[in-house]
Amino acid sequence: MPVNLRPVNPQIHINGDSGQLILESNFFPGSGNGFLIPPDITGKRIIKMKLRTSASSFLIKNGAIGYYVELYPEWRNLPMENSTNIFAYEDSRLRNITSPQNHFINGIGLTPVELTSFTSDVNFNEVTLRWSTAQEINNQRFDIERISPGSGKWIIAGSVPGHGTVSGVRDYSFCEHLSSGTYNYRLKQIDYNGNYEFFFLKNEVDVGIPAKYKLLQNYPNPFNSSTIINYELKEDCNLNISLFDINGKEIMNLEQGSFKAGYYTLRLNSAELSTGIYFYRLAGHGNSSRFNLLKKMLIVK
């Protein structure tokens, strides 16, 4: 934060082997004080600060995972500020430390889950996330959350079970197919007692535009009740996807209209279709070219 907006007048009170750090509100005007930090539309004020120590007097313990350092900061809200929330960032981990209790920060082997890596790969429209842990304590699961710029809302893309309490490296992965666009991801690690922490992917994930028009083979094939059809559009276009029987008669329209360039998926339900061979066709035109693509499928009931 700019110097004139930083919290001011810190006071430290020592009583025996414990201490208190007090940060006063910013007042304006006044010598040595910064400007009042205005609240946002929700009435919250956001302040960033760093607490640094040599940790030479902190307790060293030998636990089941190994040696670690215990820190014992306690946070207290004044009666007039009982809505204050305090968060600590450790690398990409965001933790709520508002409640007065023991909070373990930057210790070795203290966090419920120690994440050692969190990466992403993109293959056409297939996004794969991979992450590894060095240890886990009471870890129930990871929820994978995704957000698109401008949407303002994180959504749950999937969930992967944790390993409970274990030591040693554990590897995880999650895969999904997305439309063209830019995305951000985070992991929400949830304990069996309901506590959770966030781990943020440091880079954006960019799903590009296909290089050509493409109609993929449906899957599963053969199928009984339903099947998935994927197709790709290299530019904005008007299209029609139709289903034909073995005699070449059109029996169903699956998709029709104007579409943006990108990756698409549709599901075909065969409830009204009988056993046999069928053909599905993707046809249409964009600004620069026309296309007419055909695939065969088999329904077995």
- CATH number, domain containing residue 242: 2.60.40.1930
Question: Which residue(s) pair with 67 in the sheet?
Answer: 62
Range of the domain at 131: 113-207
219 in the same domain as 203: no
| Domain boundary pick from 172, 207, 242 | 207
**Residue 80 phi, psi dihedral angles, 5° rounding:** -80, -10
**Assigned token pair, 158:** 């999937």
| Domain boundary pick from 30, 49, 68 | 49
200 in the same domain as 128: yes
Q: Angle 209-213-219 (CA atoms, 0-180°, nearest 5)?
A: 95
134 in the same domain as 187: yes
Q: What pLDDT score does 149 carry?
A: 76
Residue that has been written with the tokens 């304590």 in this structure: 137
**Bigger pLDDT: 146 vs 148:** 146
Question: Which residue(s) pair with 68 in the sheet?
Answer: 61
**pLDDT tens-digit map of 172-215:** 999 999 989 999 999 999 988 888 888 999 999 999 999 999 99
134 in the same domain as 180: yes
What mean pLDDT do residues 152-163 have? 94
118 in the same domain as 45: no
CA distance linking residue 256 with residue 290, whole number of Å: 15
Q: What pLDDT score does 113 carry?
A: 86
Q: How many domains does the chain have?
A: 3
Residue that has been written with the tokens 């994978």 in this structure: 144
Length of the chain: 301
Question: Which residue(s) pair with 124 in the sheet?
Answer: none
151 in the same domain as 234: no
On whether residue 101 sits in a domain, the answer given is no
Within its chain, how far is the Cα of 126 from the centroid? 15
Please check whether residue 189 is in contact with residue 113, taking contact to mean a CB–CB distance below 8 angstroms.
yes
**Assigned token pair, 173:** 């992965």
On whether residue 2 sits in a domain, the answer given is yes
On whether residue 104 sits in a domain, the answer given is no
On whether residue 17 sits in a domain, the answer given is yes
Closest CA relative to residue 176, chosen from 162, 198, 156: 156
- H/E run at residue 136: strand 126-147
119 in the same domain as 198: yes
pTM above threshold 0.85: no
On whether residue 108 sits in a domain, the answer given is no
On whether residue 128 sits in a domain, the answer given is yes
On whether residue 63 sits in a domain, the answer given is no
Window from 15-24, 129-138, 205-214, 229-238 with minimum mean pLDDT: 15-24
| Domain boundary pick from 207, 233, 254 | 207
- CATH number, domain containing residue 150: 2.60.40.10
Examine the pLDDT at 169 and tell me if it is beyond 90.
Answer: yes
On whether residue 261 sits in a domain, the answer given is yes
Long-range contacts, stretch 44-51, CB < 8 angstroms, 24+ apart: 44/85, 47/1, 47/7, 48/1, 49/6, 49/7, 49/23, 51/21
What lies within 8 Å, CB to CB, of 299 at 6+ separation is: 222, 223, 224, 270, 273, 274, 275, 276, 278
